[in-house]
Chain A
Amino acid sequence: MNLEQLAQEIGAHIETPATPERADIERVYAGDRMSDLLGAASERTLLATHIANCGLLRLIELMDVPAICFANGATPDPAVVEAARETGTALLVSPWDLYETCGRLYAALNHEKQRAAPS
């Protein structure tokens, strides 16, 4: 799903935009352990997390993640924003808690899948 559309549907604010070729999301993974996020990263996976500090820097630099969504309206560390700008990773800030954020992401992606599937 197109990232801007996805952000709009879940009511999240785009802090840093994605590069166009990386704007397509197929899958979401939520977690707060760095090892889990590293292991789940892929070129079409949006990561949802509470971590907004500089621990995320390398995840952004090394793993080619298209987008990260922060729960609870958390604002990412300036260094994280800077790194995301450089790599073209989108940063989303969701006003909802992680549970609500994931529910909305799930609904939006699932809705699109059903529309895409031949009836």
Chain B
Amino acid sequence: MTEITGEIRSGDYVSAGQASKRIKDALKRIGADPAAVRRAMVAAYEAEMNVVIHTRGGTLRAAVTPEKLDVLVNDIGPGITDIAQAMREGFSTAPPEARDLGFGAGMGLPNIRRNTDRFSIFSEPDKGTRLRFTIFLEPHAPAAAYTAAVRITPERCKQCLRCLHVCPTQAVRIRNGAPIILPHLCIGCAACRMVCPEDVYGIGCPDNMPTPEPDTTLFVPAPLRGQFGGQLSEETLRNALKSLGWNTVWFSDPWESALEDAVKRYAREQTNRPVLTPVCPAVVNLIQVRYPSLLEYVPPFMSALESARESLSQGRGVFVVPCAALCTLAHESSALHPCVAVSPGGLLRRLAPLLKTREEQPPPSAARPDTISNAPVSISGIDQVCQFLDEVEDGRVNDCGVVALYACDSGCFGAPVWPEHPEVSRYRSATDNTQDAIGATALYRPKLLEARTGLRLDADMNRAIEKLARIDRIRAQLPGRDCGVCGSPTCLALAEDIVMARADAQACVYKKQDDDNGTASSDKENAP
């Protein structure tokens, strides 16, 4: 990794762009794709000009790694009071001297949005603005970024096929006696893990805690408080974590509350349709994969974990994550504030001896944690979520207002990683300390959510249509039992796997039996 830093002076139109120039030189020297360099230059220079035009000065920091460029621009200035308005093309508060030079046309932030792969803005009125963006340096890198954060222990699999049938996006296949996951379909929910009797599935990150450094921030989910045999005050847990060396600890609750408040304000403007709060990233992934037409129902805010990740202003972040979807989000961090995810097992083991003897009375005004059900309609469990989204997609739900959807039963309390019963741990996690000491906010999401790429059968539409026809022909010859014995979840999925060269044409045992008995002769004339 190489780092570039630069000062940006207010009103200095002539030397603005020098930091961008240094980034360009670095990118050229490592041989980055020219289109990526151009996108980086548009974004970086626009960001510098924003500081020159609108603020009292600032700094730019950039980190170049082989995969991506991460940029962080901090300024001291008036801040942006309405980010949604500032993101609109043509909205500008620039002075005439900027306009004379061709700047200040209100296209800066929209231009940054268009030319970046990740983008976040954090702004405090009268203090300043922090802008972060990422550009992938190799073409098609964003599509490759769907890595399923699910760990598989293949030797444990007994091929009971439960995971195959329960996966809401049909991402699981059994090949050579063990499951594999198609990353472009996996949404990181825990459905497979939940039904697996052999513990084949886990979260794709280590569970032993890294060594804390003085400037590391630890982010822990609220359900952690409910895992120690009794009600714990936030303070007790904080002290225990401190004794393990974690001095800066952010609980997820204030970030979740901030998101909820932001969505409630946003929802006042929306009528006649549900507002699908992005509380659960697995559900957001589900919408991107299976219900892309509903993406516009998701309000433009980052999830609690993303807002916290983008708010880190010093050092590294360690995120304790209860599921694969959150694990993926934690890793989508800037190289300037690198974050790692850990699954809770290791921390639970370290904390248990410290907290065992400290059962407490419930705190006086114990509030239920916000991690579920403060929304008018709260739905949990992947089946129920899919049923609801099917209904919304069919146009049968035009009311409901704010809706919270969680992939796990009982929300994050029900993630299979937790040893305690979800409702017991919710009861025990109740905290009296709802004050927001760290300034948790819900960050506006400047880049819109998009349907996932990689679902297409072929980049070429003619070939894709041909493949579609072949899939139909092959499916017509399959028995339609959707038994999963072949290792694909349905006969249709098997037909697609055969066409996409992910399965053997003879994989169906029932079709083979029928063929051997000569009972399916009528299909044979249609064979491809």
Contact = CB atoms under 8 A, between A and B. Distances in A.
Interface of A: 32-39, 41-43, 49, 51, 53-58, 61-64
Contacts of B108: 35
A61 B17 contact: yes
A34 B101 contact: yes
A33 B107 contact: yes
B103 A55 contact: yes
A63 B21 CA distance: 10
A62 B114 contact: no
Contact of B46 (A35, A42, A51, A64): A35
B24 to A, nearest CB: 6
Main secondary structure on chain B at its contact with chain A? helix
Contact of A35 (B21, B41, B107): B107
A41 B46 CA distance: 14
A36 to B, nearest CB: 7
Interface in B293-332: none
Interface string B113-149: 0110000000000000000000000000000000000
A94 B240 CA distance: 74
B46 A38 contact: yes
Interface residues of B, number: 25
Nearest to A54: B14
A61 B14 CA distance: 12
Given A32-B102, A51-B101, A58 B16 contact: yes
Main secondary structure on chain A at its contact with chain B? helix
B102 A37 contact: yes
Interface in B21-76: 21, 24, 34, 38, 41-42, 45-46, 49
Contacts of B14: 54, 57
Contacts of A43: 34
B510 to A, nearest CB: 55
Nearest to A41: B38
6 contacts: A34-B102, A35-B107, A39-B114, A57-B14, A57-B17, A63-B42
A35 B13 contact: no
B34 to A, nearest CB: 7
B334 to A, nearest CB: 22
B114 A55 contact: no
Of the listed residues B17, B38, B114, the one surrounded by the most CB atoms of chain A closer than 10 A to its CB is B38
A97 B15 CA distance: 30
Shortest 10 CB-CB contacts between residues of A and residues of B: A55-B101, A35-B107, A58-B17, A34-B102, A33-B105, A62-B41, A51-B102, A55-B102, A38-B42, A35-B111
B111 A63 contact: no
A24 to B, nearest CB: 15
B100 interface: yes
B343 interface: no
Contacts of A42: 38
Given A35-B46, A58-B20, A63 B105 contact: no
Contacts of A55: 13, 100-103
A53 B100 contact: yes
Contacts of B110: 35
A27 to B, nearest CB: 14
B17 A62 contact: yes
A51 to B, nearest CB: 5
B86 to A, nearest CB: 14
Nearest to B34: A43
Nearest to A32: B102
